[in-house]
Amino acid sequence: MLSINRLRNLFCAIVAAVAVSALAMLAAIGETRAAEPIKVGFSTALTGAVSPNGKQILLALQIWRDDVNAKGGLLGRPVELVYYDDQSTPANVPAIYAKLTEVDKVDLLIGPYATNMIAAAMPVIMGKKMTTIGLMGLAVNRQFQYPRYFSMLPTGPEGVLGFSKGFFELAMAQKPKPTTVAIVAADAEFARAAADGARENAKVYGLKVVYDQTYPPPTVEFTSVMRAVQASKPELVFVASYPPDTVGIVRAAHEINLNAKMFGGAMIGLLSTNIKAQLGPLLNGIVNHEDFVPSPTFNFPGVKALLDEYQQRAAGQGVDPLGYGFAPFAYAAGQVIATAVANTESLDHDKIARYIHGHTFKTVAGDITFAADGEWAMPRMVFTQFRNVTGNDINQFRDTTRDAILWPAQYKTGELIYPYSEPEKP
């Protein structure tokens, strides 16, 4: 028969063994949880009207994910992207963000891309009290005033004015000053907002608006639209359009031999290298906004490495071969989120939002500080003009030789060719 001491020792040994086993099990569970990926959810346009830009954004975010994971991930965990194609259709977006947050249980959000889609996603995001960085959304938060929304768009505090301010400042610096303007816009969220800004800027400068019309987004024939513009005899023609519309409007302008002193504005299609190459010499003389340009003044730390990697991966993939328009901003959105998570050591969305509001971020798109409304505290929008474009070779768009920066002065690489007249056209 076992003595009481031996029983006591045996019991202690059993308890110790169970405790060690339990601790080992807990450690194993902890390691498993630590290895679970941090899910970053978003939607972007991989098909439809704005897919040329959405595909850039996806590739840039994939590069960001790979770079983060190569450095050990976030909070010791790998980053996983969970994304869906919204098909360039705002109506698809609420269900996507509901799925991301309720079914996929993503930890973090980015996007979506484009004003129309961000506006559609906001009620879902706000309902979940999550933080997001909208990609290229124009003044979305003016209607929501949501403290956990941040904008990756360089209009800054100028908001809707930013997509036309440079256009009108350049025009009004000419002698004699123009007196009339036509405003043409797609009947959709971004284009309407840009047109609102154009009207405000026109009013500031005392310009008479002689034509002010929207067209339905599915429009494919623009000759009649541009003939109506021509009939109003404007000196300035400001256009807010999406990629397919941009092609149709530029072609129609040349078909009718548009007679204006300045033509351009907020044509989103002209940020796509493939569309630039498609239009070729038809671009000459157009003055348009740009978010990012291949200029020495935009050579921010890390951007060259990003664009080199982007261009290597983009080859043969059917995406924009250069990635200037959108890739730096998508990658920068990832950098902002990653920095906030790392420095708060948290996935708590309130902590993340408060950190973003309180700090300046060094990104491939330059130093970014966010204002109270989530917009950039300082603008970095530029206006450029195409000149000497010949043929359809994309390589002519690798620098600003054929797309000179006109405004603002600190980034300027060329002088405005004025007026937009037949000698300057191909």
* 190-199 tens-digit pLDDT: 999 999 999 9
385-192-215 Cα angle (round to 5): 90
Residue 28 clears pLDDT 50, i.e. is over it: no
Mean pLDDT of 113-137: 97
* AA identity, residue 209: V
- Inter-CA distances, 11 with 3, 25, 228, Å: 12, 21, 95
- The residue with tokens 């600003």 is 400
| Banded model confidence at residue 23, pLDDT cuts 50, 70, 90 | low
CB within 8 A of 379, min separation 6: which ones?
A: 154, 155, 156, 157, 158, 162
Mean pLDDT of 17-23: 52
CB within 8 A of 155, min separation 6: which ones?
A: 138, 139, 161, 162, 163, 375, 376, 379, 381
Residue 114 clears pLDDT 50, i.e. is over it: yes
Element (H, E) at 211: strand 208-215
User: What are the φ/ψ torsions at residue 80 (nearest 5 degrees)?
Assistant: -125, 135
pTM, entire model = 0.89
- The residue with tokens 């409007």 is 249
- The average confidence (pLDDT) of the chain is 92
CB 288 within 8 A of CB 266: yes
* 227-263 tens-digit pLDDT: 999 999 999 999 999 999 999 999 999 999 999 999 9
Phi-psi region of 159 (alpha: psi -120 to 50; beta: other; left: phi over 0): left
Phi-psi region of 237 (alpha: psi -120 to 50; beta: other; left: phi over 0): beta
CB 208 within 8 A of CB 179: yes
Q: How far apart are CA 154 and CA 291, in angstroms?
A: 7
pLDDT given at position 35: 80
125-127-133 Cα angle (round to 5): 20
Q: What are the chain's domains? A: 38-154+298-369 (3.40.50.2300), 160-290+387-424 (3.40.50.2300)
* 201-221 tens-digit pLDDT: 999 999 999 999 999 999 999
Mean pLDDT of 151-161: 94
| Banded model confidence at residue 73, pLDDT cuts 50, 70, 90 | very high
